[in-house]
């Protein structure tokens, strides 16, 4: 192999909780490369505020957590998958704690003298307090633990500022026989070299696709890369119409993409809107019996409806009067960020709006993360294993990200002998791309980026219609053709990689939404406002055989 090539037993693309958990599990069985396109902590996990939903209180039960998950998922969850993940939660949480992760205790909150009792948060859709948290920076706490463990593991090598371009498959190379994933082509952003990573297994853990929308809580890395690469490698993509819009992103020009955790409502925050006299009044009682703690899809649509009905720019969370000490203990990050935007949440209501937050669809897998393509796995937000259904229950995402890698490692152990024996061999060529440069290239990339995000927000957002979806389809088809020409004619760059992935993810969302002729969970189409019984547990599947 030439000096541009790398061989590892396992490749993990992405460095959030799911990716790093997978790397640690697989490092027990061989060498692991972790590829991440920016710094290792630039992930959705790092921004997760709420916590991990897990049954650890004797007043709670697996069945109750399962019931809440299934209800939120609008009869689209795979019950067996959900039950297994929920039941495996406590064991994985204990492992994380043993590695050094700190969760807030009742003692720290002044509620108990027993410092070992964890303070459990309440969030929308949950009937019990079961959210383990570290203040309101839970994701950051978990991420630090996992990064530290990976850096100490001699079997794991981390490649920051390396962007995966495409998976290498035997079919892509024109080889006969079963399709195998052999690794990936990866751009070293600093050296501008494209490296060939050859591996026995590859795991997609790139997070979601929130950047396909104009307003999102996600960091800039969330361009749907893993989903797009999986699609191009002939993996099936499932249920991408179910895109979750978080109801409460801080509405402030001073703070971009800052999420106000659902836990704020769990601790007593009430959603309100200004009436015609300028007074704040509640409105969620008009939409759901759980009011401000209703599931996210219902709250997001309710806010969207109220804003359109009144012409106002935002609604408010009113949690005033709890006391500065409470906020500094329970929501130190939110308290600080709001203050920087001129909002004292002890005295002022918090202005909020919905924004794209979480992709409940993704690369279709079984509970072990296996995609059906030899050697290829997907975990976390990149994957769709049936756990979240049509609407993710709050804080179930970190639970899934921590649990599924343990199942994945067991599956890999069972299949590794077969993969070694049957994996096709032969010369894998270096990546080839055009070398032309053009001063107009960046202008076109940025224009297409903005155009996609705007029409996705306007046409494929919280509320959809057939006409809006058809307009979006027409636009994305033309943009995709333009992008593909640039992709092969010009020198490969990170901007071009992300634009290509984002456009692919956007078109899959559009096509998925056009296929579902009903409204269910996160997918609401005004032309099909009813939920159809016969479409329960019927997945929307997109693959390369589908004309996209």
Mean pLDDT for back-to-back runs of 10 residues, the chain (548 residues): 72 98 96 97 88 96 98 97 98 97 91 79 92 93 98 98 97 93 97 95 97 93 97 97 95 84 93 96 96 91 92 95 92 94 96 96 98 98 98 96 98 96 93 68 83 95 96 95 78 90 97 98 97 97 69
Whether 427 is covered by a domain: the verdict is no
Whether 137 is covered by a domain: the verdict is no
Q: In 3D, which of 42, 53, 352 has the Cα closest to residue 218?
A: 42
What is the four-CA torsion angle of 92, 97, 103, 105, rounded to 10 degrees? 110
Length of the chain: 548
Whether 117 is covered by a domain: the verdict is no
Whether 327 is covered by a domain: the verdict is yes
How much is the pLDDT for 546?
A: 44
Pick the last residue of a domain from 333, 357, 381.
357
CB 30 within 8 A of CB 24: no
Whether 89 is covered by a domain: the verdict is no
Q: In angstroms, rounded to a whole number, what is the distance separating the alpha carbons of residues 223 and 375?
A: 23
With 0-12 / 13-18 / 19 or more C-beta atoms within 10 angstroms meaning exposed / middle / buried, residue 75 is: middle
Alpha carbon 538 to chain centroid, angstroms: 22
How much is the pLDDT for 5?
A: 65
CATH of the domain at 521: 1.20.58.100
Catalytic residue among 25, 296, 330, 520: 296
Whether 197 is covered by a domain: the verdict is no
Region of residue 395 (left: phi > 0; alpha: psi -120 to 50; beta: else): left
How much is the pLDDT for 3?
A: 41
**Could you tell me where the DSSP H helices lie in 311-366?**
324-330, 332-340
Q: What is the CB neighbour count within 10 angstroms for residue 355?
A: 26
**477 has catalytic annotation:** no
How much is the pLDDT for 545?
A: 61
Whether 222 is covered by a domain: the verdict is no
Pick the last residue of a domain from 311, 333, 357.
357
Whether 449 is covered by a domain: the verdict is yes
φ/ψ of 299, rounded to 5, equals -65, -45
Burial 172-189 (b: 16+ CB within 10 A, else e): beebeeebbbbbbbbbeb
Q: What is the CB neighbour count within 10 angstroms for residue 503?
A: 25
Pick the last residue of a domain from 328, 357, 386.
357
Q: In angstroms, rounded to a whole number, what is the distance separating the alpha carbons of residues 441 and 486?
A: 8
How much is the pLDDT for 548?
A: 35
Alpha carbon 241 to chain centroid, angstroms: 14
CATH of the domain at 282: 3.90.700.10
Residue span of the structural domain in which 445 resides: 441-542
The number of domains in the chain is 2
């Amino acid at each position: 192999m030439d000096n541009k090539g790398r061989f590892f037993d396992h490749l993990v693309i992405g460095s959030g909780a799911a990716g790093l958990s997978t790397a640690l599990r697989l490092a027990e069985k061989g060498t692991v490369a972790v590829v991440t396109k920016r710094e290792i902590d630039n992930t959705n996990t790092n921004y997760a505020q709420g916590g991990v939903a897990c049954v650890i209180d004797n007043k709670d039960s697996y069945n109750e957590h399962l019931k809440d998950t299934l209800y939120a998922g609008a009869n689209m969850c795979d019950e067996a998958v959900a039950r297994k993940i929920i039941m495996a939660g406590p064991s994985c949480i204990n492992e994380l704690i043993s590695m050094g992760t700190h969760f807030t205790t009742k003692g720290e909150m002044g509620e108990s003298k027993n410092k070992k009792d964890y303070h459990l948060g309440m969030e929308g859709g949950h009937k019990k307090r079961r959210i383990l948290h570290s203040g309101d920076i839970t994701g950051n706490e978990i991420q630090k633990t996992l990064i530290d463990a990976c850096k100490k593991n001699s079997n794991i090598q981390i490649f920051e500022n390396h962007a995966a371009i495409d998976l290498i498959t035997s079919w892509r190379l024109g080889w006969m026989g079963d399709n195998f994933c052999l690794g990936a082509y990866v751009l070293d952003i600093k050296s501008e070299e494209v490296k060939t990573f050859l591996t026995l297994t590859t795991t997609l853990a790139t997070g979601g696709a929130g950047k396909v929308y104009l307003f999102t809580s996600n960091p800039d890395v969330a361009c749907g890369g893993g989903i797009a690469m999986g699609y191009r490698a002939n993996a099936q993509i499932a249920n991408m119409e179910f895109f979750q819009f978080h109801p409460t992103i801080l509405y402030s020009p001073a703070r971009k993409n800052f999420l106000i955790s659902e836990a704020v409502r769990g601790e007593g925050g009430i959603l309100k809107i200004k009436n015609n006299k300028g007074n704040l009044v509640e409105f969620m009682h008009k939409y759901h019996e759980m009011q401000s703690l209703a599931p996210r899809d219902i709250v997001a649509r309710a806010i969207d409806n109220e804003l359109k009905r009144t012409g106002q720019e935002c609604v408010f969370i009113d949690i005033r009067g709890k006391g500065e000490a409470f906020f500094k203990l329970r929501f130190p990050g939110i308290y600080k960020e709001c203050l920087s935007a001129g909002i004292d949440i002890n005295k002022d209501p918090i202005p909020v709006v919905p924004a794209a937050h979480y992709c409940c669809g993704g690369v279709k897998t079984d509970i072990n993360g296996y995609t059906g393509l030899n050697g290829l796995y997907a975990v976390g937000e990149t994957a769709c294993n049936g756990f979240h259904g049509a609407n993710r229950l709050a804080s179930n995402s970190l639970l899934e990200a921590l649990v599924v890698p343990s199942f994945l490692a067991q599956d890999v152990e069972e299949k590794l002998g077969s993969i070694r024996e049957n994996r096709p061999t032969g010369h894998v060529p270096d990546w080839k791309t055009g070398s032309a440069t053009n001063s107009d290239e960046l202008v076109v990339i940025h224009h297409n980026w903005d155009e996609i995000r705007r029409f996705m927000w306007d046409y494929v957002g919280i509320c959809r219609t057939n006409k809006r979806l058809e307009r979006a389809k027409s636009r994305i088809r033309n943009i995709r053709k333009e992008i593909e020409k640039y992709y092969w004619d010009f020198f490969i760059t990170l901007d071009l990689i992300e634009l290509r992935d984002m456009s692919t993810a956007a078109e899959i969302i559009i096509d998925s939404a056009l296929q579902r002729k009903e409204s269910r969970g996160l997918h609401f189409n005004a032309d099909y406002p009813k939920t159809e019984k016969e479409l329960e547990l019927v997945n929307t599947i997109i693959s390369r055989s589908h004309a996209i």
